[in-house]
Amino acid sequence: MGVWHWMYEHPDATPAELKAATLQVARDLWNRYYAPAFHRRDVTLLAVYSHMISDMLYLPDYPIGRLIGFQVEEHIRKVARLRRRIRTHDEVRQSVAGSLDEERDRETGQRGCSAAATQRALSGTAKPD
C-alpha cells in the first residue's frame, strides 16, 4: 500500500524513481516488522512484488476471490441441504404412496392397475376397467 500511496503522490514519477521508492518502502517495512525477529536491517525482499504495479489492482483480487469462494461454499452447502430434504421428502412420499397402494390392493383385490388401463391412460382414452 505504501508504494500505491507514493505513486498517487508522485503521478509523474519515472520508472527509476518508482524503483527507488519501492525499495525504500520495502526497507522501511522490513525494518519495522521483520528486523526485530530476523536481526537484519534494510532487507529489500518485500520489493519483489513488482506484479502489484504491473498488474493493475492485482492485490484486491485476493479478498474478492475469498468472498467469491465463501459464496460458492455456502451455495454448495445449501444445495446439499436441499438435496437431503428432497431425498427425505421423496422417501416419505414413496413410503406413503406404497402404503396407499397396498391398502388399495387389499381393498380391491387387485395388484396395481392393469396394463390395459395404463395403455388407455397414456393414449388419452382412459375408461375404467
Residue 67, C-alpha cell as written in the block? 468472498
Number of domains forming the structure of the chain: 2
pLDDT at 105 exceeding the cut of 70: no
76 and 86 co-located in one domain: yes
12 and 23 co-located in one domain: yes
9 and 29 co-located in one domain: yes
Q: How many helices (H) and strands (E) does the chain have?
A: 6, 0
118 and 74 co-located in one domain: yes
pLDDT digits (tens, 9 = 90+) for 8-54: 999 999 999 999 999 999 999 999 999 999 999 999 998 887 677 77
Determine the structural domain holding residue 89 and report its residue range.
60-129
pLDDT at 59 exceeding the cut of 80: no
93 and 78 co-located in one domain: yes
Residue 35: exposed, middle, or buried by beta-carbon count in 10 A (0-12, 13-18, 19+)?
middle
